[in-house]
Amino acid sequence: MMKQITLFTFAFLLAQNPFAGDIQYDIRVDGITCPFCVATSERALKKIDGVHEVGSNLESGTIFVCADESVTFTDDQLQRLFLDKGFTFRSFKEKAQCTINNHKHDDSELENIPEDHTQHAHSTS
């Protein structure tokens, strides 16, 4: 009976987080200051095979990536990716579990934002 309860509890916990075996990367980037910045960066990261979810926090300049264990980011790879988008990669931390739910965006909010960030000019009020 105890074995059945343990198995049920384990199955329940896995069902609560469908990406339980995934890795989260918290990526610090300079220049991510607006929805245009977020959209272009998130789109680029979502194109990588194995990436499931992407979110961000504009205040901290952090992009959160939930990916399967086959995805391994490197400093050089992230420097190129963000430089191509007009931003400066600073660092990343790896976490054993994805917890980005509070940082995800509704994709419909970003759909009207152009693919090319250079089409967007930051306003200086």
Distance CA 82, CA 78 (A): 6
Read off the pLDDT of residues 72-120 as tens digits, 9 standing for 90 and up. Answer: 999 999 999 999 988 999 999 999 889 886 566 555 555 665 555 555 5
Note whether residue 23 is domain-resident. yes
Q: Which pTM value belongs to this model?
A: 0.69
Identify whether 5 is part of a domain: no
d(C-alpha 60, C-alpha 28), whole Å: 8
Confirm if 32 and 87 have CB atoms less than 8 A apart: yes
The pLDDT of 35-50, averaged and rounded, is 90
Asked whether residue 114 is assigned to any structural domain, the reply reads: no
Q: pLDDT tens digit string along 43-59? A: 999 999 999 999 988 88
Predicted confidence at residue 59, as pLDDT, reads 87
29 within domain boundaries: yes
* Structural domain includes residue 4: no
How many domains does the chain divide into?
Answer: 1
Q: What is the CATH number of the domain that holds 81?
A: 3.30.70.100
Domain limits at 48?
A: 18-108
Nearest-5° Cα angle at 104, 72 to 111: 100
* 24 assigned to some structural domain: yes
DSSP per residue over 32-64, as a string?
Answer: --SHHHHHHHHHHHHTSTTEEEEEEETTTTEEE
Output the six-digit token pair for 27.
Answer: 């990526």
In this structure, is residue 27 part of a structural domain? yes
